[in-house]
């Protein structure tokens, strides 16, 4: 199924420019520290403030906000991740987010899905502290932040029989997703804590030597998925059968105003939704015994 072909191309509005930094502004470092896991900086460039991780290829922008409009979604991948709300007619009651960053996704979901209980998992306490101090992250009364490894959290939730209606995988080190959060076994654990018809959104790269391997790994666990590609590749899927084009449009209508207030365009996102397999279907599946992400991932981060 190709939603792009069904819904048409749509207008490319502000979404395509969301990841472009304020090029004319001079960068000013306002905070720097060495955490247990990485070197972290906070920089301001005009009206934009970003959390930066030191990576092999320099500083990587992990999270950014518009100072004058904190609700605005600076990175193009954020509306794509939030479009997972379009996969079901009922709003999610429980949401799990693996990877906090500056708190962009949980802050947006607190407003767009106010009925939901949200669990946010972040391994680095410094990231949580910086998100609260510099990026306006304030957990709401239904939001809990857990400072621990995402896989450990999922394994415990699995043992306790917890179920989520929406799971977002957005955990990154400086260069890419940690290798133990890429494997078939991990995705099977994630699937086990998803309730009936639960949706999944996963943030990956659209150009990477891992692309084929990630694709076959996700397909081995979830079957067919929507493949949204700009600078980043977002994998969207739902347990059971995927919704058709009309169902997605109908479900999305409830969120249209909220998306547009944040600089996104649901109509454009529809054009990105394709189930076409543009990868090598024979690529080796990533497992706990075979997940050499540090070797395979040779491309810079897309956001």
CA distances from 115 to 70, 91, 109, 110, 279 (A): 21, 8, 10, 8, 38
* Block residue for tokens 């491309």: 299
Owning domain of residue 257: 3-8+76-296
The contacts of residue 61 (CB under 8 Å, 6+ apart) are: 21, 50, 51, 52, 75, 303
Q: Choosing from 170, 256, 265, 278, which is the catalytic residue? A: 170
Nearest to 271 by CA among 56, 17, 6: 6
Specify if 113 maps to a domain.
yes
For the chain, the domain total comes to 1
Torsion of CA 294, 100, 120, 183, to 10 degrees: -10
Specify if 222 maps to a domain.
yes
Nearest to 32 by CA among 59, 14, 12: 59
Specify if 201 maps to a domain.
yes
Specify if 179 maps to a domain.
yes
Output the CA torsion sign for 138, 112, 241, 243. negative
Q: How far apart are CA 65 and CA 44, in angstroms?
A: 10
Nearest to 66 by CA among 34, 25, 94: 25
Which run of H or E residues covers position 44? Answer: strand 39-45
Specify if 156 maps to a domain.
yes
Mean pLDDT of 238-263: 96
Question: Within 13 Å, how many C-alpha atoms sit on residue 266's CB side?
Answer: 21
Mean pLDDT of 60-67: 90
Please say if the pLDDT value at position 161 is more than 70: yes
Specify if 32 maps to a domain.
no
The encoded tokens of residue 266 equal 């649901």
User: Confidence class of residue 301 from pLDDT cuts 50, 70 and 90?
Assistant: very low
- Report if pTM > 0.85: yes
Among 182-196, 211-225, 256-270, 287-301, name the one with the lowest average pLDDT. Answer: 287-301
Which run of H or E residues covers position 210? Answer: none
pLDDT for residue 3: 47
Instruction: Name the average pLDDT for the chain.
Output: 88
Q: How much of the chain, in percent, has pLDDT values that exceed 90?
A: 79
Nearest to 40 by CA among 137, 31, 49: 31
The residue length of the chain stands at: 303
Specify if 213 maps to a domain.
yes
> 73-89 pLDDT, tens per residue?
999 999 999 999 999 99
Specify if 63 maps to a domain.
no
Task: Give the residue, 61 or 109, on which the prediction is more confident.
Answer: 109
pLDDT for residue 176: 84
> 264-279 pLDDT, tens per residue?
999 999 999 999 999 9
Report helix, strand or coil for 212: helix
170 is catalytic: yes
Please say if the pLDDT value at position 149 is more than 80: yes
User: 41 forms bridges with which residues in the sheet?
Assistant: 32, 52
The CATH number of whichever domain residue 202 belongs to comes to 3.40.50.150
């Amino acid at each position: 199924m190709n939603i792009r072909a069904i819904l048409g191309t749509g207008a490319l509005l502000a979404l395509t420019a969301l990841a472009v930094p304020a090029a004319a502004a001079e960068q000013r470092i306002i905070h720097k520290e060495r955490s247990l896991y990485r070197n972290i900086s906070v920089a301001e460039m005009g009206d934009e403030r970003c959390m930066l991780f030191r990576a092999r290829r320099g500083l990587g922008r992990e999270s950014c906000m518009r100072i004058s409009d904190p609700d605005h979604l600076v990175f193009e991948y954020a509306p794509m991740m939030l479009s997972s709300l379009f996969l079901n007619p009922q709003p999610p009651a429980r949401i799990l987010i693996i990877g906090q960053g500056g708190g962009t996704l949980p802050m947006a979901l607190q407003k767009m899905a106010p009925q939901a209980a949200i669990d946010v998992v972040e391994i680095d306490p410094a990231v949580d502290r910086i998100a609260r101090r510099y990026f306006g992250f304030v957990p709401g009364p239904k939001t809990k932040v857990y400072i621990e490894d995402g896989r450990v959290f999922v394994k415990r939730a699995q043992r306790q029989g917890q179920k989520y209606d929406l799971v977002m995988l957005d955990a990154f080190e400086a260069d890419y997703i940690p290798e133990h959060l890429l494997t078939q076994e991990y995705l099977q654990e994630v699937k086990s804590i998803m309730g009936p018809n639960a949706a999944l959104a996963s943030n990956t790269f659209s150009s990477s030597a891992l692309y084929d391997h990630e694709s076959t790994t996700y397909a081995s666990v979830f079957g067919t998925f929507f493949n949204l590609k700009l600078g980043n590749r977002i994998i969207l899927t739902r347990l059971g059968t995927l919704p058709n084009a009309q169902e997605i449009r109908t479900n999305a209508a409830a969120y249209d105003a909220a998306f547009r207030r944040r600089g996104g365009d649901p109509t454009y996102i529809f054009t990105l939704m394709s189930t076409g397999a543009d990868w090598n279907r024979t690529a080796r599946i990533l497992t706990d015994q075979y997940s050499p992400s540090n070797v395979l991932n040779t491309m810079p981060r897309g956001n």
